[in-house]
Amino acid sequence: MELSGIVDLESHPVSDLDFQRQCQATLDRQGVLSLAQFIDAEAMGNMLDESLRLREQAYFCRQTHSVFLNAPDHSLPANHPLNRTVTTSKGCVCDDLIAPDSILRRLYDSIMFRGFVKTVVGHAEIYPYADSLSSINIHYAERNQELGWHFDNSSFAITLMIQKPDAGGRFEFIRDYRFSSDGKENYSGVTDLLDGKLQPERLEIEPGTLVLFRGKNSVHRVSPNESDRTRILAVLAYNSLPGVALSESARRTFYGRLT
């Protein structure tokens, strides 16, 4: 079986239709699906070793952005939520540095795994990115680095925790927060969030946990790493259409290169 020795198939029978439907129902109901101990222990050790070896090739950067990931709107006040900024700082290793025989590559390319993801997220098909950098990324957050509050542009995200920091680095979110009842953006709610008036939900994620998250309408962040142990996370990115590439400007910003 192609995922034998990678995924704990006894606990997570990804090819079983009943299991797929249970996972789909959880994701649809809660907006997040967290599968603890998804990766086999030995495979998890191999992933960690690979990630630590690649760490020296990571591109580290720091950006400011709005929660909505929009360009500034100069017709609005500076304190409007479309113009208020948060900080994201991290390192990233791109797809082209992930070896063909890597555990991450084998998982990402697996027909069995893609079949599971397709059913859970409700897409007829999913495809890798057309560019050579974006399909598999490994993210590194050192002490004080973080992922700022934002809504995703994509309909779903898949992450795999490889190493958890000793403190901080928590995944925090508020479900279904983007649109108010009249269909307009929830600007007042985002203002309250940025002003620290709300208590978000927290998802405890241990190494080996696979998370599928619908972040387009659920605001989320990763809080600053408060330890000297690097937070290491793999992002497995697919598209619902073939031939999609991350824009050149986004690749320059997040990866520091185009190819």
Residue 1 inside a domain? The answer is no
Identify the pLDDT of residue 20: 98
Supply the pTM of this predicted model: 0.94
The total of structural domains in the chain comes to: 1
CATH number at residue 226: 2.60.120.620
Q: Are 104 and 233 in contact (CB under 8 A)?
A: no
Q: Give, in order, the Cα–Cα distances in Å from 176 to each of 67, 185, 255.
A: 14, 11, 30
Question: 233-247 burial, b for 16+ CB within 10 Å, e for fewer?
Answer: bbebbbbbeeebebe
pLDDT tens digits, residue range 64-75?
999 998 889 999
How many separate helices (H) and strands (E) can be counted in the chain?
6, 11
Q: What is the pLDDT of residue 250?
A: 82
Ordered per-residue pLDDT tens for the chain, 259 residues: 689 999 999 999 999 999 999 999 999 999 999 999 999 999 999 999 999 999 999 999 999 999 998 889 999 999 999 999 999 999 999 999 999 999 999 999 999 999 999 999 999 999 999 999 999 999 999 999 999 999 988 889 999 999 999 999 999 999 999 876 666 789 999 999 999 999 999 999 999 999 999 998 899 999 999 999 999 999 999 999 999 998 888 888 889 899 8
DSSP state at residue 82: T
Cα dihedral sign for 222, 183, 246, 119? positive
Q: Which domain holds residue 29?
A: 17-255
Give a yes or no: residue 10 inside a domain: no
Does any domain span residue 59? yes
Would you say 189 and 149 are in contact if contact means Cβ atoms under 8 Å apart?
no
Within a domain: residue 79? Answer: yes
Looking at the domain assignment, is residue 238 inside a domain? yes
Diameter over CA atoms, the chain: 57
